[in-house]
Chain A
Amino acid sequence: MVTINTASFSSIATLSVIQMRNVSASYDSKSFVLKNVSMNVKRGSNYAIVGASGSGKSTLLKLMNGMMIPSDGVVLYNYQKPDLKNKQYRKSISKIGYIPQTLGLVKNSSVLDNVMIGGLPRLNSINSFFKNFPKEELQHAHDVLKLVGLDEKSNRKVHMLSGGEKRRVAIARALMQKPDILLADEIVSELDAVTAREIMDVIRDAQKKFNLTAIMIHHDMNLALEYANRVAVIKEGDKVLEIGVEGDKIIDFQTGDMSQKEILEMYNES
């Protein structure tokens, strides 16, 4: 494992949460899902990744929390290589709030039980086996449920909830992790425009309250530009564009292999 002494980099350490340098990834060692991607996510930023399905967006998130190992290049989370096989890293993984596209909720459990899952890494295995939770953990669970607007439904089984509510549960579970970074994979893609904005507002509130860095994958460019302050565009495993957004102004523009014409076309499409 490559670890960099963070003390000597302390000024940088406060800046970057995720660093990717020339990362390539592959599922079958023949074709690459990601090719030579570099990105730098600053602490406190709201980073959006946009691209068509199959462009390699989900793989990017899996590289960030160590569920996948890059076949080439370096991924660093807080200047550490994410690796689920590494015991020391597994402790810090509980600080990465990860919401997969499928949400990964336990359908037959209650909302509260699903949210408590986020806090389990902090708890002793035996006590958590008997659902013997410390008071402050239960309080925290109810706090995050209030924040996402589901506290009255905490005893409801997850399979009885609507699509929007399920997403709120997944957000609450991620917040229960007391994360310093939130990774969300197309969390609003299947929702109607109104519900999608409600969910995005919940995340924005949570971000402010807990001082979170968010990295979110979007299908919809408009939504990304509306909520994020940096947007990266992925096309066929390549990062073709990265823009900085402030209000409705684009303040920073980095192109990759994409021509000006293509960018304009894409922007007009969405």
Chain B
Amino acid sequence: MNPKNNLLIGAVIAIVVVMSYDVGVDPIAFAEGLPNLGIVLKEMTEFESEHWGTAFWAMLETIEMAFIGTILGVVISLPLSIFAARNISSKYVYAPLRALLAATRTFPSILWAILFVIVVGLGPFAGILAITLYTIGFISKLQYESIEAIDYDPVEATTAIGLSKLQLIRYVIIPESAPHLLSQILYMFDYNVRQTSILGIVGAGGIGFYIINYIKFFEYGKAAVFMLVVLITVLIIDWVSVKIRDKYIMKAQHGQQVKVKTN
């Protein structure tokens, strides 16, 4: 390792130390408080099994919210991403649109949820709107980036044939950028389920409502049931999306069988 690297690492450590002091990082408090965590964890193992049913239905509601929000968001994103792509749209369209999309991504969906609770009242609908808005910001960005990265050869060839812009979008741009879309949707749904799980904290529906309330009233045994359901669900969704990705997306992109590792 050369001295320049050592200097850089030293500088980064120094900055972390100074910043930690500034924001009040206190290792002693952490060490002293650690036994509290032990108490919480112990109480958490005291499952109150009569809550499994409630937890299941609350999780189902969460998944439904995430699903609706993801699909609505994707449907709205598709036309927006075309207008936001630099290689298709005019500067006067894509520049403001991209700024708007960046704005929706700036705040996490829980902040949008608070806003929508004020607009439409407590309940899952506010959560769905928040998830939809965040999905629009995110999928539009991923999608306009993949549109900007498409192979330019078919665009050039079909322009020479004399296609209209709408035809170009329909027959070249969309098919060329679509293979990534399924993987993006899966990723987004996965992410949205986790996000929706905490939206209940601000009263926007879903399983988070139970978790936050039981924690507030020190009922860790009950909270644990709900948290475990979230954990299991997220793991299942993760596993399923990996399967789907392997089966369809790799094939669609390369047109061949994917080699699966065998242990």
Binding site for B on A (CB under 8 A): 65, 67, 84, 90-91, 93-94, 96, 98-100, 102-109, 113, 116-118, 120-121, 125, 128-129, 157, 159-160, 173, 177
A157 contact set on B, CB distance < 8 A: 255
Taking CB atoms, residues of chain A closer than 8 Å to B155 are 104
Which B residues are CB-close (under 8 A) to A120? 161, 163-164, 167, 171
Interface string of B74-110 (1 = CB under 8 A from A): 0000000000000000000000000000000000000
B231 within 8 A of A: no
Asked if A93 meets B160 with Cβ closer than 8 Å, knowing A107-B176, A109-B171, the reply is yes
**Residue pair B156, A67 in contact (C-beta under 8 Å):** yes
Are A121 and B170 in contact (CB-based, < 8 A)? Answer: no
Among B154, B162, B166, B175, the residue within 8 A (CB) of A121 is B162
How long is the Cα–Cα vector from A100 to B153 in the complex, in angstroms? 8
A100 pairs with B167, CB closer than 8 A: no
Complex contact A96–B167 (CB within 8 A): no
**B158 and A104 contact, CB distance less than 8 A:** yes
CB-contact partner of A103 in B153, B162, B164, B178, under 8 A:
B153
B156 touches A106 (CB 8 A): no
- Residues of A near B158 (CB, < 8 A) are 104, 117
Closest-CB distance, A96 to chain B (whole angstroms):
7
Nearest B residue to A128 via CB reads: B167
The answer to whether B255 touches A159, judged by C-beta atoms less than 8 angstroms apart, is yes
> Complex: how many Å from CA A96 to CA B161?
7
Interface: B151 (CB within 8 A): yes
Contact A106 B162 (CB under 8 A): no
Distance from A115 Cβ to chain B, minimum over Cβ atoms (Å): 11
- Contact check, B153 vs A117: say whether CB atoms are below 8 A apart: no
User: Quick one: closest A residue to B169, CB to CB?
Assistant: A129
Q: Of A67, A91, A160, which is within 8 A of B160 by CB? A: A67
Residues of B within 8 A of A99 (CB): 157
Contact A106 B166 (CB under 8 A): no
Name 14 extra pairs, CB < 8 A, besides A94-B161, A107-B154, A120-B164.
Answer: A67-B156, A93-B161, A98-B157, A98-B160, A98-B161, A99-B157, A104-B156, A108-B176, A117-B161, A118-B161, A120-B163, A121-B161, A128-B167, A159-B255
Query: Which of B158, B161, B163, B166 is the most central at the interface, judged by chain A CB atoms within 10 Å of its CB?
Result: B161
Do A125 and B151 touch across chains, with their CB atoms under 8 A apart? Answer: no
- Would you give the shortest CB distance from B128 to chain A, in whole angstroms? 29
Q: A159 to B153: give the CA distance in the assembly, Å.
A: 14
Give the residues in chain B near A91, CB-CB below 8 Å. Answer: 162
Q: List 30 A-B residue pairs with CB atoms under 8 Å apart, sorted by A's residue number.
A: A67-B156, A91-B162, A94-B161, A98-B161, A99-B157, A100-B153, A103-B157, A104-B153, A104-B154, A104-B156, A105-B154, A107-B151, A108-B176, A109-B175, A113-B175, A117-B161, A117-B167, A117-B171, A118-B161, A121-B161, A121-B162, A121-B163, A125-B166, A125-B167, A128-B167, A129-B166, A129-B170, A159-B254, A159-B255, A160-B255
Nearest B residue to A101 by beta-carbon distance? B153
Least Cβ distance of B164 to chain A in Å?
5
Cβ contacts under 8 Å, A103 to chain B: 153, 157
**B179 interface contact, C-beta 8 A:** yes
Do A113 and B160 contact each other (CB < 8 Å), given the known contacts A108-B176, A159-B255? Answer: no
When distances are taken between beta carbons in the complex, the residues of chain A under 8 Å from B60 are none
Residues of chain A lying within 8 A (CB to CB) of residue B68: none
Contacts of B166 in A (CB 8 A): 125, 129
Write out the residue numbers on chain B whose beta carbons fall within 8 Å of the beta carbon of A93. Answer: 160-162
Q: Specify which chain A residues have a CB less than 8 angstroms from the CB of B151 in the assembled complex.
A: 107
Tell which of B155, B163, B178 has the most Cβ of chain A within 10 Å.
B163
